[in-house]
Structure 1
Amino acid sequence: MSTRIPRSKDNDYTKEMADERRAFATEKTGASLEHVGNYSFDPAITAGNIENFMGVAQVPIGLAGPLLVNGEHAQGEFYIPMATAEGTLVASYNRGMRLLREAGGVKVSVVDDAMQRAPVFLFDDAREARAFGEWVTENFDAIKDAAESTTKSGKLRNIEQYAAARMQYLRFNFTTGDAAGQNMVGKATFFACEWIKANYPEKINRYILSGAMDTDKKHSQLNTLHSRGKRVIAEATIPGHLIRSIMGTTAESLFKMRAISQVGNFMAGSVNTGAHSANGITAMFIATGQDVANVAESSAAITFADLDDDDNYYIAITIPSLIIASFGGGTGLATQNECLKMLGCDGSGKAHKLAEIIGGVVLAGELSLSSAVLAGDWVSSHDALGRNR
């Protein structure tokens, strides 16, 4: 019979319990955990973030920048912490940031903000489901009151409805302030559904709190169209001479490559028509204490490019589902909070600022990688900086 992992009912988040669990793991596996056990904060701060705490995974953090952002919330130059184990990544983003800075900065806008929970209600037939949907529309204000009774910052914006067979899918759209909000909207939607069940005058067979149309931790075309988290657009116009001098290629080549890569992305069925937004997003998520699994949704992107008669290259990237927080979750952990402080994005009122900075970082990476592929230094740079054998 297997031995249980050591736990303390009364005081589990202590150095002593972490030491005991590492000793247990060493005994069971034979692995030395010297570096796993080398951390600088009080384990008590991890309560609510992890269970069976035993130590840390130390991911290297590189510094890129400055990134010049012309946002509505983020304005000025920012030095960017990027946590990654991939060589060349920080150097590449750093080069893209230099190009954007020389071109006058990256303009970033948060154009939508919503977090979803999508319950499904089951009936005897499609007509009963349709009647229920009509009742939900008529009683939206009361449903909104029930949902918002559970949260100070969450606000129910609207409820989308989708009918299929004898089921009515309701997609609740909330704004969530500075929190990412998945747990917040889950609780709020549960209270709303319980109110609906208690007050709907006809028979409801049952409901399921998530009918999967909220697509937690999964990409969906629905979120590309309707947004989940922050919908962020980063754009810049770059003179051709800067692309030649800094990137070693031309604006015309970048423009033509974009048209070719759009076809390739279409044939592959990709959820991203750009180069690699997941790289920059993941590195910043790890550094700033975001839920890294949300990269599955947050890395979707739509790119657009144009070239004018004066050799000015316009590029924009739309991130439709950037799920981030400046408060709550992992943002309060020791090293992650330090990285947020570097960006001036710790605490309340900073989520849109952080979203704008991440959008600018993503655009820098798109420019740098695309240019490296064209200039022929994509492979050579990885050979120079990315070999660790």
Structure 2
Amino acid sequence: MIIPFHVQQMLSRVRGLFQTEQDAARIAPDTSPVSSLRPVRSASPKSLERYWAKLGAGSAAKDALADANSCADPAIYSANIENLIGTVKVPVGVLGPLRINGVNAKGDFNVPLATTEAALVASYARGAYAATKAGGVSTAVLYEGVLRSPAFVFEGLLQAGQFVDWVVNNIDALKAAAEATTRHGKLVSLEPAIDTNIVFLLCRYTTGDAAGQNMVTIATHALCEHAAAQCPIPIRNWYVEGNYSGDKKASSLGTLTGRGRKVSASVVLPKAVVEKALRTSVAEMLDYGRVANLGALLSGQLGAQAHYANGLAALYIATGQDAACVAESAVGFTRMEARGEDLFCSVTMPNILVGTVGGGTGLPSQQAGLSVLGLAGAGNGAALAEVAAALCLCGEISIVAAMAAGHFTDAHASLARHR
């Protein structure tokens, strides 16, 4: 057997650290008393001062995190965070105009991106420039539905089947119980899945202009309580989420059926645009695309794409989305095909979870980001989803061109290391 070199190095370091009983004590449990920070939800200047006094951090740290501008009124953050000690300032860049010819997003958009990764904004901006020169990106929300998957535990398979039969005959009452908790959420489908004595109910909701994570959780809880109270089949236990929905996880279910909004975006890049704006050729981009798709296949990637997460994370942070949803939103399929001498490029993304109301969208900086886009407030949720897909398409175009032409490393060296 051959021991890999990195394993040998790790073992050598461990042996050097743990040579006596006293050395081993460093990883033993430590039950000495600790003074925990008392959770506070409603932030105030007084609570900020109390936390900073307990932290014992230097004044430089306090000045950076709790500056007078962002924390002049701490209460504005109370609905979004507990134990507030300040805010983190992430650089925000902008690209645009990105022309979008969408079912919901129509016009030229300036897109704010919050990131600490040099070269990211430049790369997406280059893709946006090429797409806009080609006439813009066509986009459409194909369908929508935020999932929650409660689980019900029964004595055996027979009782699980009887419960599903009861659900089928009581869908209207279950739907009414769920929708009584929200003005905007609608339960549009209820799909049971049985695994012996456990039943998962896949509840799909439309959520208006909100991303809707909390909305669907509260609605599903009400649905479960109604089922527990009314169903004649004895339920041993139930859980509002059975980890079947793909919430904040890349999953096969989300890839196939979608969770959030499923969006397609496409553009045909003329040969001249590819050569002048991207400094490569259609043939070279297609050649690299075939290799990249093989890599995605061999590695077992869910979908096939280059770097949706880069653009999504930056957009989500800039506009007040739940950044953890990038885990599932960054799944999808990128396609590039020859159309005569030109290049057809598209992305299809089944799990875009965004909103223009609720969550972090109302905080000052994030509201400003949505305003830069022209998509703040109600009526813009679907448009923001199309912008997100168009943005990711631009990122795919740019990175494929850079890889195909051999410019990827040079770009990062000049923009990230030697700027």
TM category, shorter: over 0.9
User: 1: CA distance between counterparts of 2:53 and 2:360?
Assistant: 26
In the other structure, the counterpart of 2:239 is: 208
In the other structure, the counterpart of 2:260 is: 229
CA contact (8 A) 1:66 1:78 kept: yes
TM-score, normalised relative to structure 1? 0.95
Deviations 1:14-41 (A, max 9, x none): 234323423432x157973321122524
The offset of 1:6, in angstroms, is: 6.4
Deviations 1:170-203 (A, max 9, x none): 1111111111111111111111111111211222
Please give the secondary structure, in 2, of the residue aligned with 1:218: coil
In the other structure, the counterpart of 1:32 is: 61
How many pairs were matched up? 385
* Percent of paired sites with the same residue: 36
Q: Structure 2 matches for 1:30-179, cutoff 5 A?
A: 32-41=61-70, 42-179=73-210
Deviations 1:60-104 (A, max 9, x none): 001111100111121111111110000111111111010001000
Per the alignment, do residues 330 and 8 of structure 1 end up closer, same or farther by CA in structure 2, a change over 3 Å counting?
A: closer
Please give the secondary structure, in 1, of the residue aligned with 2:346: strand
Per the alignment, do residues 281 and 4 of structure 1 end up closer, same or farther by CA in structure 2, a change over 3 Å counting?
A: same
Deviations 1:220-273 (A, max 9, x none): 110111110111111111111110111111112212322221111011111241
Q: Give the unaligned 5+ runs of structure 1.
A: none
In the other structure, the counterpart of 1:358 is: 388
CA contact (8 A) 1:252 1:311 kept: no
CA contact (8 A) 1:272 1:299 kept: no
Please give the secondary structure, in 2, of the residue aligned with 1:136: helix
CA contact (8 A) 2:334 2:396 kept: no
CA contact (8 A) 1:325 1:331 kept: yes
CA contact (8 A) 1:118 1:214 kept: yes
TM-score, normalised relative to structure 2? 0.88
In the other structure, the counterpart of 2:34 is: 2
Per the alignment, do residues 31 and 6 of structure 1 end up closer, same or farther by CA in structure 2, a change over 3 Å counting?
A: farther
- State the AA in 2 paired with 1:99: A
In the other structure, the counterpart of 2:374 is: 344
Whichever of the two has the greater Rg, that structure is 2
What is the alpha-carbon root mean square deviation over aligned residues?
1.8
Q: Give the unaligned 5+ runs of structure 2.
A: 1-32
1:238 matched to 2:272? The reply is no
User: 1: CA distance between counterparts of 2:125 and 2:137?
Assistant: 14
In the other structure, the counterpart of 1:379 is: 409
User: 2: CA distance between counterparts of 1:273 and 1:134?
Assistant: 39
CA contact (8 A) 1:6 1:20 kept: no
